[in-house]
Every structure is written in C-alpha cells, then in structure tokens.
Amino acid sequence: MKIGPKFKIAKRLGAPIFEKTQTQKFAASAARVKDKKQGRPGQMSDYKRQLIEKQKMRFSYGITERQLRNYVDESLMKSDKPIDFLMSRLEMRLDNVAYRLGLAKTRRLARQMASHGHLTVNGKKFTIPSHQLKVGDVVSVREGSRSSVLFAELADNHSGSVPAWLRFDVKKLEGKVESVPQYLAAETLFDPEQVFEFYSR
C-alpha cells in the first residue's frame, strides 16, 4: 500500500505513527506545530478529530480504507465490546504479529515477509499478511528463508522484548500466540472510540 511521505503524514496527524518518525527530531517538530496551533482561534470539528484518529489507526497498521471499514463493521456486528474486538483483530494479523515478535523492524517489512512466503503458521506457509491468527498458533520463519539476509543477524540483534501475549524463541525463530491481546489506551497512539464515531456518521 503506497502511503506517501511518512514524515509529512505523521506531522499532519500529530502522532509518530511510523517507526521512522519515532525520533527526537519528529517530537521537536511536532511540539513546534502544536505551539503554533494553540495560538489560532477556533476549535477542531468533531468530524476532523474523528478523521485524524481514523487515519492514525489506518496508517499505524498499514491497512487500506476498505480493510479498516470491514474490521469496524465486523466488530460492531460480532461483539458487545467492539473496541476490544477491533484492536484484537488488528493485533492478531500475521504481519503485525511478525512485527511484534521482532522478526521485522517495521510492519511494512513484516507485511513483505509474509507476502513473499518467508513465514509459516503452524508449519504451513502463508502469503496473506492479513491472515488472522488464533491463540495457540505458532509463527515461524520458513526453513528455506532462514539463511536470508532478513534473518541472518536476528539472533544477535533481537531486543528480547515481546508483548506479554506472545512468546518468542529467537534461536528457533519461532513465536507463539499465548493469549488474546488486551487493549490498553495508554499504549495506543489513537482513540478507537473516535474511529467508531467516524464510521457511525
């Protein structure tokens, strides 16, 4: 999915939603923009606020407008806790789990890994980044891909830190979904409630 200049998009949305914008340089630039905006008259409309939060969510996970709309509709239809359901759906995507495990430094790279057949789920190769994982699923680097430059130095460079709902064996290049991820507002760069408000108009 082509998304354009990441720094400009993140600056417009006011959040470091891309890995390359999670720097002191971006933080300083965003602070200057915020100071300028505080001096302007008028308030942001509800629509614009909801649109910004929706875009933050979409760009954070690297999904299309149609995909996000489908996730939102599914959450409203299948759960009485749509925010938790939506966040679980986004986090349990194959590309996101590969990113969370530390197999890739960015979700974009994780999406390419999946698309190019470098990953397996329960021993079976999957090439669909949006594939929904379940508790108990095991994600591994395909045997034929382990010598790839993508993974050659992973064992030495892996931070060792993964979310509590995942377990990762860096020697085996294998991770397991231990539980359903829990939504924590403090750890999220966007407001899911505003996203639901945007689609309910």
140 & 161 share domain: yes
Long-range contacts of 65-72 (CB under 8 A, 24+ apart): 67/130, 68/195, 69/199, 72/195, 72/196, 72/199
Tally of domains in the chain: 2
66 & 139 share domain: no
Q: What is the DSSP string of 96-128?
A: HHHHHHTSSSSHHHHHHHHHTT-EEETTEE---
Q: Does any domain span residue 183?
A: no
55 & 82 share domain: yes
pLDDT at 112 over 80: yes
Tell which wins on pLDDT, 3 or 157.
157
| CATH number of 48's domain | 1.10.1050.10
Q: Does any domain span residue 152?
A: yes
**Mean pLDDT over residues 168-187, rounded?**
94
| CATH number of 129's domain | 3.10.290.10
136 & 173 share domain: yes
Q: Does any domain span residue 69?
A: yes
75 & 18 share domain: yes
- Residue 167 belongs to domain spanning: 103-177
Return d(Cα 75, Cα 84) in angstroms, integer.
9
16 & 83 share domain: yes
Q: 16-20, 85-89, 112-116, 179-183: which has the minimum mean pLDDT?
A: 16-20
According to the model, what pLDDT value does residue 157 have? Answer: 82
pLDDT at 105 over 60: yes
According to the model, what pLDDT value does residue 22 have? Answer: 54
Mean pLDDT of the chain: 86
Q: Does any domain span residue 1?
A: no
146 & 117 share domain: yes
119 & 143 share domain: yes
pLDDT at 42 over 90: no
13 & 83 share domain: yes
Q: Does any domain span residue 98?
A: no
**Mean pLDDT over residues 36-57, rounded?**
80
Return d(Cα 192, Cα 197) in angstroms, integer.
9
Neighbours of 186 (CB within 10 A): 4
155 & 195 share domain: no
According to the model, what pLDDT value does residue 134 have? Answer: 98
117 & 58 share domain: no
pLDDT at 34 over 90: no
Q: Does any domain span residue 97?
A: no
Nearest CA to 136 out of 100, 164, 183, 175 is that of: 175
According to the model, what pLDDT value does residue 155 have? Answer: 79
For residue 25, give the 3-state DSSP assignment: helix
According to the model, what pLDDT value does residue 145 have? Answer: 93
173 & 195 share domain: no
According to the model, what pLDDT value does residue 76 have? Answer: 97
Q: Does any domain span residue 121?
A: yes
Q: 17-31, 169-183, 184-198: which has the minimum mean pLDDT?
A: 17-31
Q: Does any domain span residue 81?
A: yes
